[in-house]
Structure 1
């Protein structure tokens, strides 16, 4: 396999880290991006990537500059994201905007900046890590659901714009996945409600069709396929990785 340059946002932990590690294992030149310098340094020391960029992905200028300066890239994995919960009637505009900024706007900015380089290279793979929350609704996370629906819409629109090129754009929609994000969500629920965190995680697992948490490796395998030459005709798709049909 020919070495390609890849950028993974939110690449120091969870699904992003797993994808970055797998791409590195295939011999690609991988850069990861995240907020925490210490986490990036540790990830690089553990072979996850060749280099790390400490960037706040909600800062348009900083993100676009970092992508432009470190590119061009053959592969872009827009994985940076966050989830906050609140009943709709107490969801503030600030919370809504935070969800859009980190989950959608960051992918828009990174893609817009990386795309000219892909055009010059003559090919590219863009994979947006969305969620099953982008395909259906869930209570108490209306802002998060809106953001994930938005990134799937952006994926489909851009894929059509690029359909006559060798650049593909797809979205992955994992179900509840065994990452620190889920652990943090369970701990938040425990603090707010008194329900044990383990019970909250059990509820998340049962929400998936298969009744279990998805593993980062399962999401990674789907991402690697989308990045492969064999997936050159796959574009504009929102692929569910949830252990069953929603």
Structure 2
């Protein structure tokens, strides 16, 4: 892919976003990491700077669900690192509750972060990508974009929306040299899964080991997906020779969704 490309990774301070950032930096891309936690971003910046130079890794505090915050962060990113060639919409949030106890505030919050955030960030970069004749947008969705899960109605609705957004943008940009795809991880070894384990323990009294085993059992391989495996799928979609792949939902889930 090469040093000339500038990639923005949202939610880049931890979990899948951090793994994607590490993989892309190893492949020579310049990075702008965005997220809400300055401390997490700084820690990730320091780790990546040790790989290959601090100047190639910039950070921007950004709330992807806030239009003004997104516009300011992307303007600063372009000023510091040049036009955005690659956007990885990874920022996300999940909350669990039965439908009857899902508040409107929770519903709106999850749609704002998971769906509206992907829209706002994509809208910032897509026109310039199309004008230059090259771009890659990868939306980190979830198997929740491909199937339903109980007790996460808002999250599933948001992630299904991300997949619809992916497909619409892919068609709109198909002749412009810009591809738009979704990567859909199953249960992955991240803070989100750690929180899910804590919730199961608190609500059922099971041990943490039993809760983790329950989540891993959803994967036919009987394990949790690793963040680096998701990052590898993202990295493939960014290649120049992946230009014929657009509008797709690539499940990284050990066969949970077929």
Q: Do both proteins adopt the same fold according to a TM-score greater than 0.5, normalized to the shorter chain?
A: yes
1:153 pairs with one of 157, 164, 185: 164
3-state SS of paired residue (1:53): strand
Query: How many residues of Structure 1 are paired with residues of Structure 2 in the alignment?
Result: 246
Q: Deviations over 1:165-209 (max 9, x none)?
A: 100000000010011211122112222332222222111110112
Q: In the alignment, which residue of structure 2 is the partner of 1:216?
A: 227
Match of 1:142 in 2: 153
Give 3-state SS (helix, strand or coil) of 2:217's partner. Answer: helix
2:2 touches 2:27 (CA, 8 Å); kept in 1?
A: no
Q: Secondary structure at the match of 1:144?
A: helix
Q: TM-score, normalised by structure 1?
A: 0.96
Contact 1:127/1:170 (8 A) holds in 2: yes
**CA–CA separation in structure 2 for the residues paired with 1:203 and 1:92:** 27
Match of 1:68 among 75, 84, 93: 75
The alignment partner of 1:107 has SS state of: helix
SS of the equivalent of 1:171 reads: strand
Residue 2 of structure 1 corresponds to 2
Indicate whether 1:102 and 2:113 are aligned.
yes
The correspondence for 1:194, drawn from 173, 194, 205, is 205
Match of 2:59 in 1: 52
What SS class does the counterpart of residue 30 from structure 1 fall into? strand
Root-mean-square deviation over aligned CA pairs: 1.3
Name the SS for the 1:56 alignment partner: coil
Measured in 2, the distance between the counterparts of 1:11 and 1:178 equals 15
What residue is the counterpart of 2:27 in the other structure?
26
Unaligned runs of 5+ in 1: none
- Find the aligned partners of 1:239 and 1:2 in 2 and give their Cα distance: 24
Task: Report if the CA contact (8 A) 1:74-1:121 is conserved.
Answer: no
CA distance in 1, matches of 2:243, 2:99: 40
Q: Distance in 2 between matches of 1:91 and 1:2?
A: 45
* Structure 2 residue ranges without an equivalent (≥5): 50-55
What is the DSSP-based 3-state SS (H/G/I as helix, E as strand, rest coil) of the residue aligned with 1:111?
helix
Deviations 1:31-50 (A, max 9, x none): 10111111111111101661
CA–CA separation in structure 2 for the residues paired with 1:187 and 1:29: 36
**Is residue 234 from structure 1 mapped to residue 235 from structure 2 by the alignment?**
no
Q: 1:36 maps to what in 2?
A: 37
